[in-house]
Structure 1
Amino acid sequence: MLALFSCSKSVEQKLEDLEKEQLAFEKKIDGIKDTAIRNQAKQFGSMLFWFKKIDIENQKPPTDTSYEENPFVILGDYPTMSGLTNNFLNGILIENNGDMSTKNELKVHYPFTFPFEPKITWNTVQFNNNSNLPVKSEYLEGDQQIQVVKSEYNNDNNVSVYYPEKETLRTIEPTFLSGTIEATIPKAVLQFKFTNNETGDTKEQNGIKVKLVSIKDHMVTVDVTTAGPTDPSVDPDKIDLIKVMATDKTNKFLDHSGSSTGPEDLMDFFQDILEKIMDHPEDVKKLEKEMEKMQKEHEEKNKNQTHYRAFFRGSVEDVVVYIFDYSKATKLKKALKLPAYSFSNSSDGRPIANIATTTTVYDRSLDDLLKQKAELTQGELSKEIKIEQKPYSKPNKAGQYEEKAQFSFEYPKLLSTLFMDDFRRYESLTNVSFYEDKGGSKLINIPKDSIDYNNGEGYIENPWVEFQVNRVEYNPAKFPVKPKLARGVIKVMLADIKKTSYAVNKLPAGIKVSGNKLIIDGNLVNTNNSNFYVKDKTGKYLKQITTLTNTKGDGFDVDRTVVTYYYGVPHTIERLEQSDLRTVDHSFEIVLTEEVKQARD
């Protein structure tokens, strides 16, 4: 008999037990003389073991926390499915990138992630001589004509236009990309929010009920009861009907690591089937039918109910369940013929180009960021700059892949971080000392020529300690004793940030708006120390399409214009200006990690 797993066992122990049981299962099955029955039993049993293995692996707590964007946040900007769909369709832009001599890349820019898995197929490209070429799936070597080929790189759905070595053909530029888009759009998307203290609660909207069954660290279980059947045109096996999202204590959305759908006692049922196969392998066909019958009975009994489990890369605090109401579906199928725009800077004085769109898209990431304070004071540095550590990794048996221990300085996201990355923020390490006790009373003597204080500028070969960008790297294997505490001083750059807001009808000299373009005259406005952000008449920040620089002239007599294109019509312009840079000392003290990792062979 197969042993049931103890709840107290670790995931690793459960996987080891499962592997042993699978080996025992396969050994017994190998003894069946009838080849057809043996192969069928092995195949069926392997499938069941695979299901059980995935279920156990999903229970393993994540070692690191990772996050993802919530694609459904966009629903808050478009209250109807038609509004969401129309803004997506009208916002698809094609960039004609001709930077390479042998080909042009037609890059597809989407205004946002469409949450209903659209399928876009490109068919033809039209050129400036009014010729048309079909989009092929493969590039043909040696072809002396222009070829239009679907790009498979990174699943990006772009199109490449290849040119042979003929000067006359290189002047033929793509002007339009044509194709079709298809999607199945639900009647509505319902949102159910649960806090971590609402386990066991049921919430209802439009006849659809969602129960939060449990939250266990990185695992979430929900039960969903719908009001009726889905639209006959919808295949539940191909379209998501439920999406569970979760946040941790930072309120960021956690990355998914897996999910499962099925009856709550599904694993117990698999266990029972496996035991029956072990005891009566000759009945494998009967057992297979029994499993199919059970699935049909379950689907019939619970045709409007779903037991759903989701697994995340982090500890879950709160849960959001999205239900796609496909009681009535809309089948979208639309022909596309989209103009190809150049997103390249120009230096020949050509007129400012239009990148036209009737779509309005907001940049929600700016809402919180632009509400932050401008900058820290020197007195706030010790409280606000966080220090992250990575342990030392010993070399493998071959003496390879050794990694130094390190501690890095993490600056909070403020308005000043929009102008200053870590390379500029942390100028250098002034001094650093290591101690063999956590109290910092026993100093470790380190040769002065073994510390590189400034991003490799000390030209020290194999230093014990070195400062790189925003981190101190050190090799504890070189120290006479293990370091347990570090103290030191780094130079940190601070800046003053000024924020000014303008209405479009009261813009200062050098700043103007035309359509969806913000145009900055670089001769009148210093764009090197200024960032601009645009709101529409609703007061929401608009999402950028791209920023281009147009120049005209030579030497010191150059006219420079910076043009930023937006998804929407600007109504208010916000300007952030950086000024008065200054460097201050920041003292730090950190108890060092004693963890040591082993590099793999």
Structure 2
Amino acid sequence: MDLRFPLAGLGLSLALLATGGCSPDDQHPLASLEERTAQFEQNLDTIKDQPLKDAVADLGGSLLLLERARLKLQDKPIETEYTTDDLALLNHYPSIQALTDTYINGLFVLRKNASSDYLTDLEPVFPFPINSASEFPFPHALEWQSVTLSNKQEVPFQPEWSETDPGIQLSPSSANLSNPDDLTVTYPYIDGVETQNSQQPQPVKLHGKVEVIAPGNVVHFKLNDKDVGQTRTDGTISVALLALGKNFAEVEIHNSAAPAEAVGDTELNPLIIQARDQSGQFLSRAGSINENAEQLAFYQQQLAEMLKQTAWSEAFERQLADEEKTFEQKHPNHYSKVYFNGTVDTLDISVMDFSSATVTRKALDLPVRRLDKTVISKEVQPLPLSVVVYDDQAPAYLKNANLDPERFKKTVTINQSIDDASAATLEFSHPATFNDELVGLLPDASEAPVTFFAEDESGKRSEPLELPEEAFDVDPHTGVITYDLNLFPETPAYAIGSMPMYIAAVDKQVLNIEHLPTGLELKGNALIVDQKAFPSDAWRFYAKDATGNYLKEVLAVSHSAEAEGPALFDVHYFYGQPTQLESYARTDLTPVEYGFEVKLDKVPEVNPPH
């Protein structure tokens, strides 16, 4: 089984890789890194034994990647960005076991629209998706075993599709790399025989097994700059705050109690570090490095041993594994250096205590449901779910239902591109908000004046350039100005103008589910929305249950009477039973004239050949 756990293992602990360029100060370290990378690749090319070459490439490549990430993170500008509490999941459920049961029992399988007559894709849907703010925090494993088809045939799971297998196959999907659990049922192609997908035996039940290792307890610590260099202890858990910078924290933890026998050899990363700024809000993470200097030195030593070999062998593999086990036994502490998007004021550190643990295993026999995003049918399919899952991102997201025009203007950024001189661009954008969902279609008639200027000998703006109409184009709908430098009498240095933008005026209402307006109907966990009364381009609906928390929407299905016909109604399915609804309706569009003066980038001159 493929155990998954947050940020574990050398390669996966690079779940950071901050984007952005390098500051001038780190050009020398990066240049050195590039030299080392080139040298490593040369050394790799000299290795003839392929298994040895693969092992060296894996470890050496991970170390270089880690170093590159470290350099980028340490020089990343401090830009504040907020997120939600990583441990909100725990707070919603009465016990750790209840959270575990919700993860397991909330799993179901959708059949996706067939992209081919010889393929049927299956999408397992998780209540806490991977790589999201609400990711399930405990080590867990999922193993698919087989699928039962409509003709009673059972097709075993195989880890990859075989070109030589003549039968029906079940294997991981290659079409969706973002969801590693997507599967594909592949039907054999018979030359000269036309078989529509609907005539193929269809998947009706997916079989597998799941395992979750839940800690016996989660211990919490609140720290600040006064705790640097100090060790705090709660029971068997000790936390040392090694360093606290403006935008990072360096922490090491130790559990004096041995891991429970149920944990076995499962690699654990029990440490969750969160930071707040002075506003008390949680800062989003920019990245983390989970290997300290001793660990990195050990891996470098192992890499050096690999490079001395001429061939890979089982004995050498055992030697490396034994060395790693011995090292881990001598260094039982868990280390993490986390960078944040914003200035750190306080730390919330949570440690999962696996000195006692509960292992939950369950066989999965999941019916395959057909709930496409668009359906030609008036029949509402039920989607009964026995679990409740909350949407912790909703409160912050819905704060941006209405935007202040002046504050909105301050969020606008202008990006330039001069890669193509015949289609240079100025692109006006702003961070996505809930308000954007309700803007809808923009008016066709929008004045968007722009004037280009050259610069004089002193570098100041000169007279406006007289240009043919085809020299530039302004598209207010996309917020892009495109201009052709080949049609300019001289190189432009400035662009001055006004870009029309719009924000939605949004009306929020709280609806009593006992007296819903005509056009809205609640059937169990499904909200049915008449598209004539509440068209989706102008309305949004959110649901709460009796706790006052927003319920997470599972999916939405749009129903039409005929192909290419207008939508009759939409159905929104929730994880839980709504007891209250909120409606958000666009009542108007507010124009925002964004005036700008931009110093234009210059196309770099190409030196003529000598």
TM-score calculated relative to the size of structure 1: 0.73
Q: How far apart are residue 295 of structure 1 and its match?
A: 8.2
Equivalent residue, structure 2, for 1:464: none
Q: How far apart are residue 501 of structure 1 and its match?
A: 1.1
Q: Secondary structure in 1 aligned to 2:382? A: coil
CA 1:235–1:11: 2 relative to 1, 3 Å: farther
Q: Secondary structure in 2 aligned to 1:60? A: helix
| Cα deviation 1:407-432 (Å, max 9, x = unaligned) | 4232673x5322126x7499756111
Conserved 8 A contact 1:258-1:310:
yes
Equivalent residue, structure 2, for 1:89: 104
Task: Letter of the 2:214 partner, please give it.
Answer: I
CA 1:364–1:168: 2 relative to 1, 3 Å: closer
* Matching of residue 567 in structure 1 with residue 575 in structure 2: yes
Q: How far apart are residue 175 of structure 1 and its match?
A: 2.0
Worse overlay, 11-20 or 122-131: 11-20
Conserved 8 A contact 2:417-2:426:
yes
Correspondence for 1:227 among 229, 240, 256: 256
Q: How far apart are residue 342 of structure 1 and its match?
A: 1.0
Correspondence for 2:437 among 418, 421, 428: 418
CA 1:186–1:595: 2 relative to 1, 3 Å: farther
Q: How far apart are residue 90 of structure 1 and its match?
A: 1.4
Residue-pair matches, total? 543
* Matching of residue 546 in structure 1 with residue 560 in structure 2: no
Equivalent residue, structure 2, for 1:518: 527
In the TM superposition, 1:416-495 aligns within 5 A as: 416-420=435-439, 424=442, 428=446, 430-435=448-453, 442-455=462-475, 469-473=478-482, 485-495=494-504
* Alpha-carbon distance between aligned partners in 2 of 1:416 and 1:206, rounded to the nearest angstrom: 47
Question: Which structure has the larger Rg over C-alpha atoms?
Answer: 1
* Matching of residue 209 in structure 1 with residue 228 in structure 2: no
Equivalent residue, structure 1, for 2:402: 374
* Matching of residue 157 in structure 1 with residue 170 in structure 2: no
Correspondence for 1:317 among 344, 350, 358: 344
* Alpha-carbon distance between aligned partners in 1 of 2:365 and 2:62, rounded to the nearest angstrom: 45
Equivalent residue, structure 2, for 1:586: 593
| Cα deviation 1:217-249 (Å, max 9, x = unaligned) | 665421213232222343567232334456789
Q: How far apart are residue 518 of structure 1 and its match?
A: 0.7
* Alpha-carbon distance between aligned partners in 1 of 2:560 and 2:220, rounded to the nearest angstrom: 49
In the TM superposition, 1:499-518 aligns within 5 A as: 499-518=508-527
CA 1:292–1:311: 2 relative to 1, 3 Å: farther
Correspondence for 2:157 among 120, 124, 135: 135
CA 1:82–1:48: 2 relative to 1, 3 Å: closer
| Cα deviation 1:420-473 (Å, max 9, x = unaligned) | 26x749975611124456997534414142543433xxxxxxxxxxx6712335
Q: How far apart are residue 354 of structure 1 and its match?
A: 0.8
Q: How far apart are residue 97 of structure 1 and its match?
A: 2.4
CA 1:294–1:477: 2 relative to 1, 3 Å: farther
Equivalent residue, structure 2, for 1:256: 287
Q: How far apart are residue 59 of structure 1 and its match?
A: 3.5
Conserved 8 A contact 2:172-2:180:
no
Conserved 8 A contact 2:492-2:600:
no
Conserved 8 A contact 2:283-2:342:
no
Task: Letter of the 1:209 partner, please give it.
Answer: S
| Cα deviation 1:532-567 (Å, max 9, x = unaligned) | 1111111111111111233448999x9923211111
| Cα deviation 1:242-288 (Å, max 9, x = unaligned) | 34456789954224264314649x759979x99xx99xxxxxxxxxx
* Alpha-carbon distance between aligned partners in 1 of 2:420 and 2:423, rounded to the nearest angstrom: 7
Q: How far apart are residue 123 of structure 1 and its match?
A: 1.7
Gaps of 5+ in 2: 1-24, 47-52, 130-135, 189-193, 309-319
In the TM superposition, 1:56-71 aligns within 5 A as: 56-62=67-73
Correspondence for 2:371 among 322, 329, 343: 343
Equivalent residue, structure 1, for 2:214: 185
Identity of aligned residues (%): 21
Worse overlay, 537-546 or 154-163: 154-163
Q: Secondary structure in 2 aligned to 1:190? A: strand
Equivalent residue, structure 1, for 2:412: 386
Q: Secondary structure in 1 aligned to 2:99? A: helix
CA 1:44–1:371: 2 relative to 1, 3 Å: closer
Q: Secondary structure in 1 aligned to 2:359? A: strand
Gaps of 5+ in 1: 1-6, 31-41, 279-290, 396-401, 456-466
Q: Secondary structure in 1 aligned to 2:365? A: strand
| Cα deviation 1:371-425 (Å, max 9, x = unaligned) | 3352435xx3674442243464589xxxxxx983634232673x5322126x749
Equivalent residue, structure 1, for 2:383: 355
Conserved 8 A contact 1:385-1:411:
yes
Conserved 8 A contact 1:119-1:183:
yes
| Cα deviation 1:75-94 (Å, max 9, x = unaligned) | 33235221111111111111
Q: How far apart are residue 587 of structure 1 and its match?
A: 4.1
* Alpha-carbon distance between aligned partners in 2 of 1:218 and 1:315, rounded to the nearest angstrom: 6
CA 1:11–1:268: 2 relative to 1, 3 Å: farther
Q: Secondary structure in 2 aligned to 1:328? A: strand
Equivalent residue, structure 2, for 1:399: none
* Matching of residue 116 in structure 1 with residue 116 in structure 2: no
* Alpha-carbon distance between aligned partners in 2 of 1:237 and 1:15, rounded to the nearest angstrom: 33
Q: Secondary structure in 1 aligned to 2:391? A: coil
CA 1:426–1:89: 2 relative to 1, 3 Å: farther
CA 1:296–1:510: 2 relative to 1, 3 Å: closer
Q: Secondary structure in 2 aligned to 1:537? A: coil
Task: Letter of the 1:503 partner, please give it.
Answer: N
Equivalent residue, structure 2, for 1:534: 543
Equivalent residue, structure 1, for 2:121: 105
Task: Letter of the 1:259 partner, please give it.
Answer: N
* Alpha-carbon distance between aligned partners in 1 of 2:114 and 2:554, rounded to the nearest angstrom: 19
Q: Secondary structure in 2 aligned to 1:357? A: coil
Conserved 8 A contact 2:511-2:580:
yes
* Matching of residue 77 in structure 1 with residue 101 in structure 2: no
* Alpha-carbon distance between aligned partners in 2 of 1:181 and 1:587, rounded to the nearest angstrom: 53
* Matching of residue 334 in structure 1 with residue 350 in structure 2: no
CA 1:133–1:587: 2 relative to 1, 3 Å: closer
Q: Secondary structure in 2 aligned to 1:337? A: strand
* Alpha-carbon distance between aligned partners in 2 of 1:139 and 1:593, rounded to the nearest angstrom: 52
* Alpha-carbon distance between aligned partners in 2 of 1:430 and 1:20, rounded to the nearest angstrom: 50
